[in-house]
C-alpha cells in the first residue's frame, strides 16, 4: 500500500503521498489508519490524457495516478490504497481532494463540471471552494475507521452531495489463538 510520506512507484510514476487529512497535524493519527482506494468514472478523457488524484489543500504537491483497463473502463482507480491517518476525534475533519487531467504527461487542467457527462441533477448541487473557485471532493473522516479498507467512488466533475464510500473489509482483532478458535467454533 502507498504510505504517508513514503515514496512509492506506480508503473513508472514516482509519487509522494503528502499528509492526507486536512485540519489534522501529521502526528494526530490517534484514530488509526484507514486504507482508501479512490475510483472515478470518466468517459470524457481524450487520447493522451491521464487522470491524477491531488490533495485539494496542497495542489502543487505530488499527484497520484489513476489507471484503467479495457475491462474496467470507464472507471479509473488508484493502483494501491492510500493510507489516511484518522484523528482521535474526527468530528468535522475531512479529506479534501480533486482530480487533475494531464495531457501528454504535463498538467493540463483541473476537473470541470462538464466532465460529469449527463448527470445534470448533481451538477445543480456543485460546491465551489472560495479559494480559487475550484470545486473539490470531500470525504468526512468520521465515516472511516482505523484498520479498515474502503473504496471512494466518484464521477469526474461531480462534487456535490455526499461521497459514495464502499466499506470493503473489516479487520478482526483477536487477542489470542484461543479466541480465534472460539470465534470459528
Query: What tens digit of pLDDT does each residue of 15-39 get?
Result: 334 333 333 333 455 789 999 999 9
How high is the pLDDT of residue 171?
64
- Residue 73 has which C-alpha cell? 473502463
Rg over alpha carbons for the chain, rounded to the nearest Å, is 18
The Cα-based distances of 7 to 18, 26, 62, 140 in angstroms read 10, 16, 10, 26
In terms of pTM, does the model score above 0.85?
no
Cα distance between residue 37 and residue 143, in whole Å: 14
Per this entry, what is the length of the chain? Answer: 185
Other beta carbons less than 10 A from residue 79's beta carbon? 17
Highest mean pLDDT among 122-126, 143-147, 176-180: 143-147
Amino acid at each position: 500500500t502507498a504510505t504517508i510520506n513514503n515514496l512509492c512507484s506506480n508503473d513508472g510514476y514516482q509519487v509522494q503521498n503528502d499528509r492526507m487529512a486536512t485540519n489534522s497535524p501529521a502526528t494526530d493519527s490517534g484514530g488509526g489508519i484507514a486504507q482508501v482506494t479512490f475510483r472515478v468514472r470518466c468517459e470524457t478523457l481524450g487520447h493522451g490524457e491521464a487522470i491524477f488524484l491531488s490533495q485539494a489543500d496542497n495542489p502543487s504537491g505530488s499527484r497520484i495516478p489513476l489507471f484503467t483497463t479495457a475491462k474496467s473502463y470507464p472507471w479509473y482507480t488508484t493502483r494501491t490504497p492510500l493510507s489516511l491517518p484518522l484523528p482521535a476525534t474526527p468530528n468535522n475533519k475531512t479529506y479534501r481532494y480533486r482530480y487533475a487531467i494531464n495531457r501528454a504527461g504535463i498538467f493540463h487542467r483541473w476537473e470541470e463540471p462538464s466532465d460529469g457527462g449527463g448527470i445534470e441533477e448533481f451538477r445543480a448541487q456543485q460546491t465551489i471552494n472560495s479559494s480559487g473557485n475550484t470545486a473539490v471532493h470531500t470525504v468526512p473522516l468520521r465515516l472511516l475507521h482505523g484498520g479498515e479498507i474502503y473504496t471512494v467512488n466518484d464521477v469526474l466533475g461531480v462534487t456535490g452531495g455526499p461521497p459514495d464510500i464502499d466499506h470493503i473489509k473489516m479487520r478482526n482483532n483477536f487477542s489470542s489463538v484461543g479466541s480465534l478458535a472460539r470465534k470459528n467454533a
